[in-house]
Amino acid sequence: MLALTLTLIEHGGTRFVVPSVTGASATKSVSATAQQDETLDELVEGASEEFSIVFAQLKAWASAHGHVWSRSKKSFRLETAEGEYLLHIYPQWGTIEVSLNSMIQAGMDGEVERLREQFGRIIGKTPDKNPNIPCNRTLPAWPTFLDALDEYVVGRLRAAAIQSPTVNTVD
């Protein structure tokens, strides 16, 4: 038997209703070969409920911040309107992947460690430089995830500015 619980969460003036499902659920058994042949739309259709909820909320967050989505073969890629990479979300695995590489290369060690700690609280262990955050852990920690995501985006943009500084010339 399944039970549905709705939780109202407010973050940055936006309210989110976060459903969570408890109880036993049936899962689709598919061979690895069949999964490799599935299209992105098929992967989304077969994804977990947690993925679907997190992806919908992430799309709303991205839209509110002016970020844009693109599709790859097995994931959705989120970028700023200017084309700066932010993250991938994978329906097949039910994970969000962020990359701290540009921040590491920009020498932002303090920010990187703080983000690793924040994402680690969600994941349950300290991640490496490319945290994969499971949607089933993100959903119950949505406000914590949004706080970390906001800080991550600021860090990514700052790293991009450090790595590609604008040169001002005076005539």
Domain boundaries, the chain: 2-19+37-163
pLDDT at residue 73 is higher than 90? yes
pLDDT digits (tens, 9 = 90+) for 74-125: 999 999 998 999 999 999 999 999 999 999 999 999 999 999 999 999 999 9
Beta-carbon contacts of residue 3 (< 8 Å; ≥ 6 apart): 21, 22, 23
Q: Would you list the DSSP string of 88-134?
A: EEETTTTEEEE--HHHHHTT-HHHHHHHHHHHHHHHTS---SS-EEE
**What's the pLDDT at 3?**
61
**What's the pLDDT at 25?**
46
pLDDT range class, residue 26, cuts 50, 70, 90: very low
pLDDT at residue 155 is higher than 70? yes
